[in-house]
Every structure is written in C-alpha cells, then in structure tokens.
Amino acid sequence: MAALTDEQTLMRDQAKIWASKQAPVNKFRAMRDSCIEQRFDAQTWSEIIEMGWTGILVPEEYGGSDLDYLAFGIVLEELGRHLTASPLFASALVGATALNIAGSGTQKQTFLPKIVDGSEILTLAIDESNQHAPADISLKAQATDAGYRLNGKKGFVLEGMAATTFVVATRTSGEKGETNGITLFLIPADSPGLKRELISTMDSRGYANISFEGVEVPADAVLGLLDQGWEPLDAILDRARAGLGAEMLGCAAQAFDMTLEYLKTREQFGEVIGSFQALGHRAAALFTGLELARSCAEAALQAIDEEAHNIPQMCSLSKSRLSDYLHEMSTQLIQIHGGIGMTDEFDAGFYLKRARALEGRYGNAGFHRDRYASALGY
C-alpha cells in the first residue's frame, strides 16, 4: 500500500465511513429497481458534492481543493467497494482533467467551478464502436462561417443521459485511424441536433448512444488546438484509466472480503469450507493477486502525480492487471458461493456484472498489454 499523507489518510477514512453508511450496496439496488433514467441517486450525488470530492482535481482559484490523483483514487476505491453510482468519475475526474490539460482560461473559468458545485456534469464521448479504439474517429466536424458543424455518432458514453456538456473527440482532417486531425470540442447536451438514447446495461449505469445530426457550435467550442487533439486526448484517457483502476481495485477488494467471509462461515460436512485445503490455497492466491493489483493501481496514480516519464506504460499496466484480476476475483466470488451467488437477492452478482462492464472500459486487458509492449519497443 502506498504511503499516504495525513490529508490522504483523512480522505480515505472519510470516504470509507461515508460510503459504508450512506451509499451501501442496498442503495444501489434501490436505484436499479427504480429504473431512473440518469442511473444514479440524486441525494447520493448531492452528498458527494457536499463532501468536496468533485473539487479534488480542480485548482483552488476555481473553487477546488487542488489535490492529486492518488487522493481521487482513494475515494474511487471506496465507492467501488459499494458499487456507488454517480457522475463523480466521469465529470470530476475525466471532465476536470480534460479542462486542466487542454482548456483555455475562459473555458476553465466557465466550467471548473460548475463541476465543483455539481451544476455541470461533463463526460467524454470517444468510442464509435464496441471496441475501444481512440484513434478510430470518423465523427466529422466541418468548418462553417459561424464555427463548426458536427455529424456522426458516439457509443457507450458514460453518464450520457445525465451529462450537461460533452467533451467530444471529432475528426477535422485526416482519415479514421490517424492520430493527426483529431479535435476536441465542448458540446452542450441541449444543442439542436444532438440526440441521446439510454442503453440498458448489466451493471445498471447511465450509458448512452449519442448522435450528432448537423450540430452547430461556435469556434470557441474547440478544446485545445485544431487538428492537434490526440496528445491531450491520450493524456486524458490515461488519467481516466488510472482512476478506473482505483474503482476496479475497490470492487475487487470487496469481492475478496465477501468471499473470505463466506469461507469462514459456510459449513459443509460439519466443517467450515475455509478449512478445506484446496479452497484455502485458492484464497491465498487471490489475496496475493489483490496485493499485486493494488501495487499497480497505486503506482499509476503516483506516476501521474509525479509527472513521471512513463505515465502511459504505468496506466496501461494498471488497467491490464486490474482487468485480469477483477475478472478472476469476480468469477471466484460466484464459484465459491455456488448457485446462490447469482440469485438477485444476493449481492455477489452485482459485482460480477460491474466487473465485466469495467474490464472493457477505455481498453480491455489485451488492448493495454499490446500498448504496454509497443511502448517498450516490442
């Protein structure tokens, strides 16, 4: 485990207490059963805003606390333990990161204070197919006398139904698959010609397909530089992957704790099943894997905070390792519990479903192994 500062330790303890008391899994269950379109509980989101977590990455001049990614990861880990649904990751991490990296002074002044107070929810619209391929962008942004006209589609946009503004990766020149010619835009969700459709997913989150049909935006909607959006986009995605790794770590840690508790209490043949050597060995291997996954997740967050030269490699290492481990841990959670694990009245199934959704987000394990190897020259 990373050595935490006093401030980070306080944030961890605060997040642990709040999530366990105010956002337990049964609250997620109630949200799922309510079928609300935004796919998160408004009261839970309001409390997260009051806790100040929406301002962790926002500079003090814009109303934030200007902390670091490790601090944000600590919060996301605790929320991941309890499957807490909210726009915190999409808006306060990914959205705020996009503005911090590529935003102009005016754009930061316009959006960052509103991210902090929750009046704006930003989200990144990047993928256009079922596979994560960030350079495969065909959504066109054509220059007009008044600015730009957007035509195309984005799929599986996180918090797509709740977002008030989209950070959209478009193509202003070049061909699909090329990194040159990509431009980022800030697009209001209520723009004429923008349509969104809720996607029903197994993890009951607010994904949406977004279509842009002649959406007109002014020239100052460009985030960063024209045709040069790949470099900031790649940096934004790395920070998103590191944050996602922290949430996945929390989900995996809780799955392990649930499994361990079951091994200690479930009896077969007059003995607790944890006393069976095969299951004991399996639990030991899962614990070792958990600690390795934790090391990878925390190393990626620390690399970002330290502005290390190998941020892309560390973020891909984290996402790849966490994807593999969470897949295995969630599978073993069900296997060890047996049939009861997949019944709806038991929580284990929620963790399996969330695990499968997170594995592919911003690149699956295979994508990141290939990216890591390529960065090392293989």
Q: Average pLDDT, stretch 239-267?
A: 94
17-67 pLDDT per residue, tens:
999 999 999 999 999 999 899 999 999 999 999 999 999 999 999 999 999
Q: Average pLDDT, stretch 268-283?
A: 85
Say if residue 251's pLDDT is above 80: yes
Exposed, middle or buried: residue 83 (CB in 10 Å: 0-12, 13-18, 19+)? Answer: buried
Say if residue 275's pLDDT is above 80: no
212-236 pLDDT per residue, tens:
999 999 999 999 999 999 999 999 9
Q: What is the DSSP string of 10-73?
A: HHHHHHHHHHHHHS-HHHHHHHHHHT-TT-S-HHHHHHHHHTTGGGTTS-GGGTS----HHHHH
100-114 pLDDT per residue, tens:
999 999 999 999 999
Say if residue 1's pLDDT is above 80: no
Position 154 scores a pLDDT of 98
Element (H, E) at 230: helix 230-265
What token pair was written down for 327?
Answer: 């897949």
Q: What percent of the chain has pLDDT over 90?
A: 89
Domains of the chain in start order, with CATH, are 6-117 (1.10.540.10), 124-227 (2.40.110.10), 231-375 (1.20.140.10)
Position 366 scores a pLDDT of 97
Give the residue with greater pLDDT, 118 vs 266.
118
Cβ atoms 140, 152 nearer than 8 A: yes
349-375 pLDDT per residue, tens:
999 999 999 999 999 999 999 999 999
Say if residue 267's pLDDT is above 80: no
Position 345 scores a pLDDT of 84
Q: Phi/psi at 212 (nearest 5 deg)?
A: -120, 115
Q: Phi/psi at 168 (nearest 5 deg)?
A: -110, 125
Distance set, CA 287 to CA 260, 282, 292, 297 (Å):
10, 9, 9, 15
Say if residue 343's pLDDT is above 90: no
Rounded Cα distance between 164 and 115, Å, is: 10
Position 339 scores a pLDDT of 79
C-alpha closest to that of 115 among 40, 167, 57:
57
Cβ atoms 191, 200 nearer than 8 A: no
Give the β-pairing of 122-125 and 165-171.
parallel
| Helices and strands (H, E) in the chain, number of each type | 11, 10
Contacts of 324 (CB under 8 A, 6+ apart): 365
Element (H, E) at 323: helix 311-337
Q: Average pLDDT, stretch 299-324?
A: 98
Give the residue with greater pLDDT, 228 vs 339.
228
Q: Average pLDDT, stretch 300-311?
A: 97
Position 204 scores a pLDDT of 95
The sign one gets for the Cα dihedral 166, 170, 176, 178 is: negative
Rounded Cα distance between 212 and 197, Å, is: 12
Rounded Cα distance between 289 and 325, Å, is: 7
C-alpha dihedral (80, 82, 85, 89), degrees to nearest 10: -20
| Core vs surface per residue 124-152: b (16+ CB within 10 A) or e | bbbbbeeebebbebebebeeeeebbbbbb
Cβ atoms 311, 231 nearer than 8 A: no
148-204 pLDDT per residue, tens:
999 999 999 999 999 999 999 999 999 999 999 999 999 999 999 999 999 999 999
Rounded Cα distance between 313 and 303, Å, is: 10
Other CB atoms closer than 10 Å to residue 62's CB: what's the count?
A: 20
Q: What is the mean pLDDT of the chain?
A: 95
307-318 pLDDT per residue, tens:
999 999 999 999
